[in-house]
A = this chain, B = another copy of it.
Amino acid sequence: MTRQRRIVVEELRKVKSHPTADMIYEMVRKRLPNISLGTVYRNLELLSEQGIIQKITSGGTQRRFDGNPVKHSHIRCVSCGRVDDLQFETPDVLTQVNLDNGYELLGQNVEFYGKCPECRSDSNT
């Protein structure tokens, strides 16, 4: 666990948002001005493989990361792409789905989408 890796995790955990790799790069750079974007990518990849953070499925073009390793639901703004956590307990109906397609079911996640407070007020102007 290098300094770079530790600080990537710390910065990611500091925010409740779900930043993209280059947002994280900018955040980390305030503390480690010499860190390179490649290192940030390499660490995000490693950390998510190890289950210390998670990659979240993204609607847009860029990946987003979540400092919370525990699966939970998100809501994504359809206007600006921002992703927030959502208090939501996965109901049993989801975990007990019966697959008939040959897949081994490993998990599930509910994705909500909507319009975030900022974008709502933008469209009111």
Residues of B within 8 A of A57 (CB): 57-59, 76, 111
Instruction: Report the minimum CB–CB distance from A95 to chain B (whole Å).
Output: 10
Instruction: Report the minimum CB–CB distance from A57 to chain B (whole Å).
Output: 5
The interface size of chain A toward B, counting residues with CB under 8 Å, comes to 38
Taking Cβ atoms with an 8 Å cutoff, the residues of A that contact B are 55, 57-59, 61, 63, 75-78, 84, 86-88, 91, 93-94, 97, 99-117, 120
Residues of B within 8 A of A91 (CB): 91, 93-94
Residues of B within 8 A of A63 (CB): 61
Pairs A–B under 8 Å by Cβ, sample size 23: A57-B57, A57-B111, A61-B63, A75-B99, A75-B105, A77-B103, A87-B100, A88-B97, A91-B91, A91-B94, A93-B93, A94-B110, A102-B116, A102-B120, A103-B112, A103-B117, A104-B120, A106-B113, A106-B114, A107-B112, A109-B111, A110-B111, A111-B111
CB pair A110–B112 under 8 Å, yes or no, is: no
Residues of B within 8 A of A87 (CB): 100
CB pair A105–B110 under 8 Å, yes or no, is: no
Residues of B within 8 A of A112 (CB): 97, 103, 105, 107-108
